[in-house]
Chains A and B, each alone.
Chain A
Amino acid sequence: MPNSSSSAQARPGIRPNGGTERANTAPGSANAVEADVLALAQAGDHQAFAQLYGLHKRRIYSLCLRMVGNVAEAEDLTQEAFLQLHRKIATFRGDSAFSTWLHRLAVNVVLMQLRKKGLSLISLDEAMEPTPEEGPSRSFGAPDLTLSGTIDRLALEHAVAELPAGYRLIFILHDVEGFEHGEIASMLDCSIGNSKSQLHKARLKLRDALRAQERPEERT
């Protein structure tokens, strides 16, 4: 069983290595080691592929679990993502950080699964453009209500799970996993402005949901 590298384990609130992955390639550094392992895996070395799995399994599994909220499904998606990685790894050319490339691959596996489940999600483009009725309410006409100072974690997790898939994806990638808008745009083939806009709408929708939970008597 391959082991995880501590350098590759994303913790909540800690930014993944995406943007800095190629910055430090000094011999012996974690990035240089991963570059060597990656080159071997691309050449078909199974042991090296197992090492890559060990380095990235936690992040990919966590992404899948955060997106689908179901352990068995997340395991299947993780398996599928790494199988696709195995099939496509030779095509990785280093145009982006490997972790970003792998994340993009995993995101597409997740979106494919959501489509199979019949969610209103035909393509990534549609994921990025939820229907108007799925959008957040606008604040300038809304009652002047604010969230009480702290947010219950479980309430917020529930609200995130209820978000339309496109909003959920952006929110998880940016606010939970710590990716930058530029990385998300690269991952999802969208503009940076689109990423910012979708994240903003996701947060507004979460605010709506949390305010409704705080004041259930005001639900319509």
Chain B
Amino acid sequence: MTGDPRKMSCEEFQAQLPELIGSGEDASAHPHVQGCDRCRALLADLETIAEAARQLFPSVEPPDEVWTQIESAIKREGK
């Protein structure tokens, strides 16, 4: 890998992405991104997906029957 992040290839940059993003760094400020439309677009898409994920699958309550079943099973196991 090259020592100068501006000369980094897309492959080299993307190999670092999981750690860059996962550690909370601003990956869009990386020198490679400044000069690479493809990686900038990739980052934008990944951010869009992560943002959208927060609205997915609203949490829901299980029906009361689930607790009824659990209680019955606990009683059976206790016998």
A: which residues have CB within 8 A of B? 1-2, 4, 9-13, 46, 49-50, 53, 57-59, 61-62, 65-66, 74-75, 78-79, 82-83, 86-87, 138-140, 144-147, 149-151, 153, 156-157, 160, 171-172, 175-176, 178, 181, 192-193, 195-197, 199-201, 203-204, 206-207, 210
Contact = CB atoms under 8 A, between A and B. Distances in A.
Contacts of A172: 57
Most chain B CB within a 10 A radius of its CB, from A50, A82, A144, A160: A82
A93 B41 CA distance: 46
Interface of A is mostly: helix
B3 interface: no
B18 A146 contact: no
Contacts of B1: none
Interface of B: 9-11, 14, 17-19, 21-23, 37-39, 41-42, 44-46, 48-50, 52-67, 69-71, 73-74, 77
B3 to A, nearest CB: 20
Given A9-B59, A146-B41, A153-B56, 15 more contacts: A13-B54, A46-B74, A58-B59, A79-B70, A79-B73, A86-B77, A139-B42, A140-B10, A144-B37, A156-B56, A160-B53, A160-B56, A200-B21, A204-B46, A207-B46
B57 A157 contact: yes
A2 B67 contact: yes
